[in-house]
Structure 1
Amino acid sequence: MSLPLSTVTWIFTEISGWTFSNSDYIAGVLTCIAIDHIIGSIYHAFKLKDFTLKKNISGLLTKLALCAGAAILFEVIHTTVKDASLIYEYLKSLTRLIVILYPAGSAFLNMSAITNGIFPPLGWINKLKAFNENLDLNKIKE
């Protein structure tokens, strides 16, 4: 009985430590999700006129779960290669960018749809789409 309990305690301790030391990153992702949720709600309510509370809550919970799951999986990958500092830093930056661009990119696409492509500029939208296709960081900085 104590082994399963100690395993669960260890996992929660690790997650708590990671959460505390990465609070800025977590706050950033949650902020992006909140902004995306608000803009997406406006888009679906007023532009597409297909808003339902059930789909709205389902979409929010799905985005939260996918971001949390991806962050955990990517952190496991980071831990695996932490001794190879160059690979570790590259993967950490890339995978965190992937997680944060999921809700941020969705918010930008909704903004663009609401403004008929005026804001953000289509050039930025195309850069995000290109990055999503091949993960080439140069596509964003060019």
Structure 2
Amino acid sequence: MKFITLIYTFIASNLALIHKGTFLVKLKSSASLAIALSPIAYVTEKITHWAFDNQEYVMFVFIAIAIDHLLGSILHLIKRDFSLKKNITGLITKIGLVVAVGFLFEGVNAIAKDDSFIKEYLVIVLRLTVFMYPAGSAFYNSSILTKGKFPPIGWMNKLKKFEENLDLKNFKE
């Protein structure tokens, strides 16, 4: 908390100096703010650009989280073991893991820059892995709610095999 207070103090004092100081003080304060905040602006711009270019992927992942959360909540209400604290903790954990691991996987994809079969395969498998974490959980919840009727057991078996070996052939057969 002290660190955040220091950041606010730094920004506020430099903004005040920009409006009240001499020309050299204004110049120094402007440069200090620009140097301190430019990495944040750079990273924010890159994330925003990536999210815009991949908005469909991001949308499907977060909708999968929402559907999984809804089905999981219904399941635990039916089982009579629903806990609001565990529910919120689980949602925050799932969102955090999807964002963190998704970021790391996108780093792998960025490092493998060359257009090649390996790059395309990595993008598909890694994004599918990120999506299938919440979507797979939603499928399992749905299967439990319908007593194994939906999704079909064949799909659930293919999903389990993919989770074990990341082999896309499981879905091809």
Give the alignment's TM-score, normalised by structure 2.
0.78
Q: Which residue of 1 aligns with 2:3?
A: none
Q: Which residue of 2 aligns with 1:72?
A: 103
Q: Which has the larger radius of gyration?
A: 2
Q: 1:3, CA displacement in angstroms?
A: 3.9
| Identity across matched positions, percent | 50
Once the two structures are superposed, residues 33-57 of structure 1 have per-residue CA deviations (whole angstroms, 9 ceiling, x without a partner) of 11111001000111x2110111111
Once the two structures are superposed, residues 50-90 of structure 1 have per-residue CA deviations (whole angstroms, 9 ceiling, x without a partner) of 10111111111111111111111111111101124222111
Query: Would you say 1:123 and 2:154 are equivalent positions?
Result: yes
Q: 1:132, CA displacement in angstroms?
A: 0.3
Which structure exhibits the higher relative contact order, with contacts defined as CA atoms closer than 8 Å and separated by 6 or more residues?
A: 1
What amino acid does structure 2 have at the position aligned with 1:8? I
Q: Which residue of 2 aligns with 1:10?
A: 42
Gaps of 5+ in 1: none
Query: Would you say 1:52 and 2:83 are equivalent positions?
Result: yes
Q: Which residue of 2 aligns with 1:23?
A: 55
Residues 30-109 of structure 1 correspond to what in structure 2 (within 5 A)?
30-46=62-78, 48-109=79-140
Structure 1 stretches of 4+ with a deviation exceeding 3 A read 1-4
The whole-number CA distance in structure 2 between the counterparts of 1:122 and 1:37 is: 22
Give the alignment's TM-score, normalised by structure 1.
0.94
Once the two structures are superposed, residues 99-136 of structure 1 have per-residue CA deviations (whole angstroms, 9 ceiling, x without a partner) of 00011100000011111111111111111011000111
The whole-number CA distance in structure 2 between the counterparts of 1:31 and 1:86 is: 29
Q: 1:6, CA displacement in angstroms?
A: 1.6
The whole-number CA distance in structure 2 between the counterparts of 1:85 and 1:17 is: 23
The whole-number CA distance in structure 2 between the counterparts of 1:141 and 1:58 is: 36
Gaps of 5+ in 2: 1-31
